[in-house]
Amino acid sequence: MTTVITVPASLDDASFEQVLEQVAPLPPDARMLVDARHARWASPYGLTALLTLAQTREVRPAFAPPEADETVSYWSRTGFFKHAESVYDLQKAVRVRAAGESSVLLEITPISKAGDVHEVVGRIQQRAQAILHGELGIDAKATIGFSMTLSEACQNIIEHAGRGGWVAVQSYTWKKRLGRRVVVIAVCDAGVGFRQSLESKEGRSRGDRWDDGMALEEAVIRGVSRFRDPGRGQGLAGIRRYVGKWSGKLSVRSGTARIAIVPGWDDDVPLAERLPAFPGAQMQITIPERVPAR
Amino acid sequence: MINHIDVSVVLRGTVCDLYSNLVTRPTGAAVRAEIEQQLAEIGGRTLTVIDFTHVGLLDFSCADEIVAKLLLKYTDDGEAREREGYFLFRGLNDSHHDAIEAVLERHGLAIVAQGPEGEPQLLGIVDDGERLAWEVVCRLGAADCDDLAEAAGLPAPDAERVLNALRRRRLVMRVEDMYVPVGLAR
């Protein structure tokens, strides 16, 4: 029997939970059809998480692409179908187009080794400057920090996940919650996740409470790493500083929990627990357009 | 003799000749290993300019590997302390500063960097006494304990203690009885 997993019409980090609620009760070897026929829009998080979802399955799932031409066209330009072909059985042939739309700063890119991070950072720098400074009104100097943030986010996959993942960067107008343009980095993997990564830390003392939420608090808020090297853990700290400086939002989901650094313009909760279980780690960084002071 | 190491050349020579950004921990570790190899070949006490002029991006992981771990190895508490390696950092832009200062703070380290006019500047963690002593010695060009005590109004034992602390941290070099700031040494 094949279970149909319905993809919401608008797929982002919040609505992806609806996908996971459908998947969580299934055994890993269950046959699954991910039905995106009615999807009309997806954030970079939504698209990279869909690819990650397929990686978590023991039986290669099927995928029904969106019916709307413009959605297929946009997802194609993000590079989604090019990679979906490698992890899903596509139910319908999709014409794969090259990326190039101006809002796609970085098409979906697999990350599995240090060279991938060099490539990603090299590719994004010029476009990031045009978008961040030209369209979002952010200081030109912030472009470098953005690339550093991207680099550190990708390195979490290489250093901790134990398997490859995906990164994508897009800018778009976030009408629903903010009414401004944003640039969004999404980095998703189906690796070991924060809790298991920290469990491998030598000499780690286990308190009464130890779960995905606590692991996220240790890593994201307190900069704890599984390595004894005191220099470790600086990447997430650097991401937090950058996000704070530019009134951005950072959210990291791992296992059954999600932690967020929540700016004033958002009403998300700092820590969500008892979410549907999902392997690995999924990170989203959102930098909003600057609004000139009145 | 002052050695000069162009970090961008080391990057292209050891990791990939197409790279201009110092990103990822393995990249930083490879670059540092090559720098250490060059210093080992020279041997003895060394003063080395680490030049970032042609480096594009430097992320925190690379800064930790290249700058912090290099310093940790060559200060008085490090495994290569007998080689007495001193470093002057050149060509740092604002974003390099951000990454380097973050890792220096994490480890409680300090470096000497060349400012825009070539003047030596301290970056990182130094206490008020160390900073005062550093500024006085820079103004004098070189100083012994008595010079610092007199110029800074310090008791002689305190002057000696702070100069030794700066030397152990590789921020000043001891040349016979004089202490010379790293950025002014010839």
CATH number of A1-101: 3.20.20.100, 3.30.360.10, 3.30.750.24, 1.20.140.10?
A: 3.30.750.24
Q: What is the layout of strands, in order, in the sheet containing B85-90?
A: B2-6, B46-51, B85-90, B110-114, B120-124
CA distances from residue B26 to A158, A163, A229, A238 in whole angstroms, order as listed: 10, 17, 14, 18
Q: State the average pLDDT over residues B77-88.
A: 79
Residue, of B19 and A107, whose pLDDT is higher: A107
Give just the sign of the alpha carbon dihedral A193, A198, A199, A200. Answer: positive
Q: What's the maximum distance between 2 C-alpha atoms anywhere in chain B?
A: 55
CATH homologous superfamily of A102-294 equals Histidine kinase-like ATPase, C-terminal domain (3.30.565.10)
CATH number of B1-125: 1.20.120, 2.60.120, 1.10.3470, 3.30.750?
A: 3.30.750
Q: Provide the pLDDT confidence category of residue A94 given band limits of 50, 70 and 90.
A: confident
Interface contacts (A, B; CB < 8 Å): 79
Report how far residue A54's alpha carbon sits from residue B76's, in angstroms, rounded to the nearest whole number.
52
Lowest mean pLDDT among A39-43, A85-89, B75-79: B75-79
Q: Where are the domains of chain A?
A: 1-101, 102-294
Contact indicator for B123, B100 with CB cutoff of 8 Å: yes
Report how far residue B174's alpha carbon sits from residue A47's, in angstroms, rounded to the nearest whole number.
59
Q: Provide the pLDDT confidence category of residue B54 given band limits of 50, 70 and 90.
A: very high
Q: Provide the pLDDT confidence category of residue B85 given band limits of 50, 70 and 90.
A: confident
Can you say whether residue A247 is alpha, beta or left, with left for phi > 0 and alpha for psi between -120 and 50 degrees?
left
Give the model confidence (pLDDT) of A211-244 as tens digits.
999 999 989 998 777 777 777 778 888 899 999 9
Q: Which residues pair with A6 in a beta bridge?
A: A35
What's residue B51's pLDDT? Answer: 96
Beta strands in chain A (DSSP E): 2-6, 10-11, 31-35, 41-42, 62-64, 89-90, 104-111, 165-174, 180-189, 249-255, 257-261, 271-272, 278-288
Q: Where are the domains of chain B?
A: 1-125, 126-186
Lowest mean pLDDT among A7-11, A66-70, B37-41, B122-126: B37-41
CB contact under 8 A, B102 and A237: yes
Give the model confidence (pLDDT) of A260-277 as tens digits.
999 999 999 999 999 999
Q: Which residues in chain B touch residue A231, judged by CB atoms under 8 angstroms apart? A: 64-65, 68-69, 103, 106-107
Taking only residues 44 to 73 of chain A, the set having a beta carbon closer than 8 angstroms to any beta carbon of chain B reads none
Contact indicator for A56, A26 with CB cutoff of 8 Å: no
What's residue A134's pLDDT? Answer: 81
Report how far residue B138's alpha carbon sits from residue B183's, in angstroms, rounded to the nearest whole number.
9
Report how far residue A199's alpha carbon sits from residue A109's, in angstroms, rounded to the nearest whole number.
29
CB contact under 8 A, B107 and A122: no
pTM of the model: 0.87
- For chain B, the residues whose C-beta falls within 8 A of a C-beta of chain A are 16, 19-21, 23-27, 56-61, 64-65, 68-69, 94-95, 98-99, 102-103, 106-107
Cβ of A139: how many Cβ atoms within 10 Å? 12
Q: Which residues in chain B touch residue A117, judged by CB atoms under 8 angstroms apart? A: 23-24
Residue in chain B nearest A118 by alpha carbon: B23
Mean pLDDT, chain B, as a whole number? Answer: 90
CB contact under 8 A, A118 and B59: no
DSSP state of A139: -
CB contact under 8 A, B61 and A147: no
Give the model confidence (pLDDT) of A157-203 as tens digits.
888 777 889 999 998 887 777 788 899 999 999 998 989 888 876 65
pLDDT at residue A256 tops 60: yes
Greatest mean pLDDT among A89-98, A149-158, A197-206 lies in A149-158
| Residues in CB range of A282: below 8 A, 6 or more apart | A13, A45, A48, A49, A52, A186, A187, A188, A189, A252, A253, A254
CB contact under 8 A, B59 and A145: no
Q: Which CATH architecture has domain B126-186?
A: Orthogonal Bundle (1.10)
CB contact under 8 A, A158 and B24: yes
Contact indicator for A245, A258 with CB cutoff of 8 Å: no
Q: Provide the pLDDT confidence category of residue B186 given band limits of 50, 70 and 90.
A: low
A217 closest CA partner among A161, A273, A268: A273
Of A121, A155, A234, nearest to B57 by CB-CB distance is A121
What's residue A169's pLDDT? Answer: 94
Residue in chain A nearest B57 by alpha carbon: A144
User: ipTM for the complex?
Assistant: 0.79
Give the model confidence (pLDDT) of B146-185 as tens digits.
999 999 899 999 999 999 999 999 999 998 889 999 988 6
